[in-house]
Each structure stands twice: as structure tokens, then as C-alpha cells.
Structure 1
Amino acid sequence: MLGHGYLNALKKAKSTVYGPAREKVGTLGNIFMDVGTGDADFASIHLGLFGSVESLVSLEGAVITDGHLQVRFPKDVIKHAPNIDPAEELGDEAKEMLERYYAAMDPNTGS
């Protein structure tokens, strides 16, 4: 998993988030940590013309490349993720819903 310190630095820099083909997805928003492990497991991404839409993306397999975050999912998959309020704490039910969605959309499973 990605370290919180690196992600926090990217967040402060309003870093661009890229998809698997290095296409621009949006701007990094909040970072959500797993309480048990302390690892960052989801992040919110500001999408849309002025970043007015915010969706959560799994950080499973994400990497930091050239000072930016690159996630495993393209923009259209992130845009259609379950609608979870990124300003709220990520509860167990919401986290499970996101994990199921991203597992079904995982490009490595052939789904």
C-alpha cells in the first residue's frame, strides 16, 4: 500500500491523478485510511470541468509516478463508482460496497 505521508504530500500539491493508460482522471482529494492497518486504501478524486464531482477510487495497485498518483482504474469506472460522500468517514458498509464494485471492475480479473 501507499504510505500516508507520500499521499498527503500529493494532496497538498493538488496532484493530478492518472488512470492506467496515463490518461488524466482528476485531482487528488481526501485520503481514506484503513483503521486496522493504517494503510491508505481509498482516495477521493475531483472529476469534471471544475472538479465539482468527487468519487472514491481504490488505491489497490496504485503507484506514485513522476510526482503524481496513478490508479488502476480509468475515469469512466471511477465516475460510476457507488456514490459515497467523501466528506464523511468511510464506514464499514460503504467500504465493503466500494471494495465489491472495484473488485468487479478490476482489469486483472477479466470482469
Structure 2
Amino acid sequence: MFEAGDIREWRGHDVVDPGGRKIGALESVYVDTATDEPFFATVTVGLPTRRRLAFVPLTGATVGPGYLRVAFAKDAVKNAPAIDTDGELPASDEPAVFAHYELDYAPGAGGERRLGRR
């Protein structure tokens, strides 16, 4: 997995699916608050007049020259839960992000959020 500092340096680089199809540009990284490891990224998707930030897991992601390859198909990412380009992910929406990718979701022991933006 990537160091949080390293993956943030890729902001603005292309994000591609396993087949090499461009999904969008890397906007931000969300870490698992329990481990402080990068866990999700947001990717800028949509038309220029209707941009949004779609969530994609970083599990299985690899880097290449000028791009970040994620382990999920372009359509899956484009249909994932998203926020406005200037928005924030509400804690109540976190379970839907995990469910879209069939990942287990459990808040912290004290009910704290699972994802933190870096």
C-alpha cells in the first residue's frame, strides 16, 4: 500500500481502470482512521459543467508513469457515491461508499467516522 504522503503527491494525475481507461483525475485521499493508511481516493468525474468527486478504494491500486491504476472498472467508479467538488463526505454517507464496492463497514469503537480526508 502507499504511504499517505506519497499518494497525495499524485493529486491531479490521471486515474485509470484495470483496462487503462481514464476515469478522471485524482483529487484527494481518504485514510482509514483506525490505521491512518490510505483507503479511498476521490476522482474528479463528469462533464465540465457538472463535475463531482467519486469515491474509489485504493486497495490493489498501482502507480505508473503519470497515472494511478485502481482495481475497479470505470463504470463502477462513475456510478459510485460522490460529493460535490467543494463538498465533504458526511459520516452518515460512509456506509454507502463501502457498500457500493461490497466492502465491510464498521465505525470506530466510539462511533467515530471510518474515513478521514488528507
TM-score (norm 1): 0.77
Structure exhibiting the larger radius of gyration computed from Cα positions? 2
TM-score w.r.t. length of structure 2: 0.73
C-alpha RMSD over aligned residues: 2.1
| Structure 1 unmatched runs, 5+ | 105-111
Do the aligned residues in 1 keep the contact of 2:20 with 2:69 (CA within 8 Å)? yes
How far did residue 85 of structure 1 move? 5.2
Corresponding residue number in structure 1 for 2:44 = 46
2:93 is matched with which residue? Answer: 94
Q: How far is the alpha carbon of 1:18 from its aligned partner?
A: 0.6
Partner of 1:9: 9
- Answer yes or no: is the 8 Å Cα contact 2:23–2:78 preserved in 1: no
| Matched length | 101
- The answer (yes or no) to whether the contact 1:84–1:94 under 8 Å persists in 2 is no
Preserved CA contact (<8 Å) 1:32 1:90: no
User: If each structure's helix is expressed as a fraction of its own residues, which one has the higher value?
Assistant: 1
Evaluate the alpha carbon distance shift between residue 47 and residue 100 of structure 1 in structure 2; reply closer, same or farther with a 3 A threshold: same
Counterpart of 2:6, as a letter, is: Y
Question: Percent identity over the alignment?
Answer: 30
- Unpaired runs of 5+ in structure 2? 104-118
